[in-house]
Amino acid sequence: MDPIRIAVVGLGKIARDQHLPAIAGTPAFSLAATVSPHDPGTEGIPHLSSLDELLKKGPAIDAVALCTPPQVRYGLAVQALERGIHVFLEKPPAATLSEVAALRDRADKAGVTLFASWHSRFAAGVAPARAWLAERRIEKVSIVWREDVRVWHPGQAWIWEPGGLGVFDPGINALSILTHILPRPVFLRTATLSIPENRAAPIAADLSMCDTSGAEIHMDLDWRQTGPQSWDIVVETDAGTLRLSRGGSVLTTPTGTEHNEDLEYPGLYSRFANLIRGGRSDVDMAPFRLVADAFLRGHRETVEAFHD
């Protein structure tokens, strides 16, 4: 079977750190082109300044991975879907829920694959955590997701603009794990969003949620942490405590600790290939809905200015 010819659109940090290596290591794909108006591209791979140029001039492609800021993904995805090209959306999948819903409908009508990706769900501990929790009664959940924005998003002004999500850009990773491992749906009760006086998006957030059985869920997000970073989810159950740490790569249950090699992005691309081969889409909006709910219902407080 011939490999799927894919173009990567947007060559920022995540594309170079994760997407390009994952594509190179996934035999189902071949990197056909890269697209960016600001980056010179990768040696030996055709490079174009825009998706429009690529679609007009070639090379031919079967799929695109959209790694641009979310505020511009909708238009790019529409261009691809109209040409019958499969679309991989980095997270968050778009700037709004309505955009994602519209893209899902377009993909269905075009008969092509749309994949709203959640890379943290492919962290090593997540699948076994989901299996372990399936038979347990959830009593309480605590999430602490604190990191240093200057380390992970240096100079990325778009992330502070409307649609960029601010601290929810990493926070949605935790929500993607939460909504995947818990056996019941989750909804927001209250939220506090801390927004720097010179920015449009929050630098920290405190969320109170619960599942449909009433189990309390608390989430602490902060982009101001220096030193060791915290990406931890603790689930208290009737059979003891489960902990996912290091972003989901380390799983601890009452029977011990598992720490396996993380292959998040290779896992995403294997999933994308299987969806394409099977003629299916995967557009789970549960994590994105919780973020939207936080912006809808959250109390906003102004905090000191943030400067890179």
How many CA atoms, within 13 angstroms, populate the side-chain half-sphere of residue 99? 19
- Residue ranges per structural domain of the chain: 4-116, 123-260+292-303
Catalytic residue ranges: 91
The pLDDT tens digits for 229-284 are 999 999 999 999 999 999 999 999 999 887 777 789 999 999 999 999 999 999 99
Burial of 66: CB neighbours in 10 Å, binned 0-12, 13-18, 19+:
buried
CATH of 123-260+292-303, one of 3.30.360.10, 3.40.462.20, 2.40.50.1020, 3.20.20.30: 3.30.360.10
Verdict on whether the full-model pTM lies above 0.85: yes
What confidence score (pLDDT) does residue 259 get?
Answer: 76
pLDDT averaged over the chain? Answer: 95
Domain 4-116 architecture: 3-Layer(aba) Sandwich (3.40)
- Distance CA(14)–CA(149), nearest Å, equals 14
**What local confidence, expressed as pLDDT, does residue 258 receive?**
79
Q: What local confidence, expressed as pLDDT, does residue 257 receive?
A: 83
Q: How far apart are CA 209 and CA 217, in angstroms?
A: 5
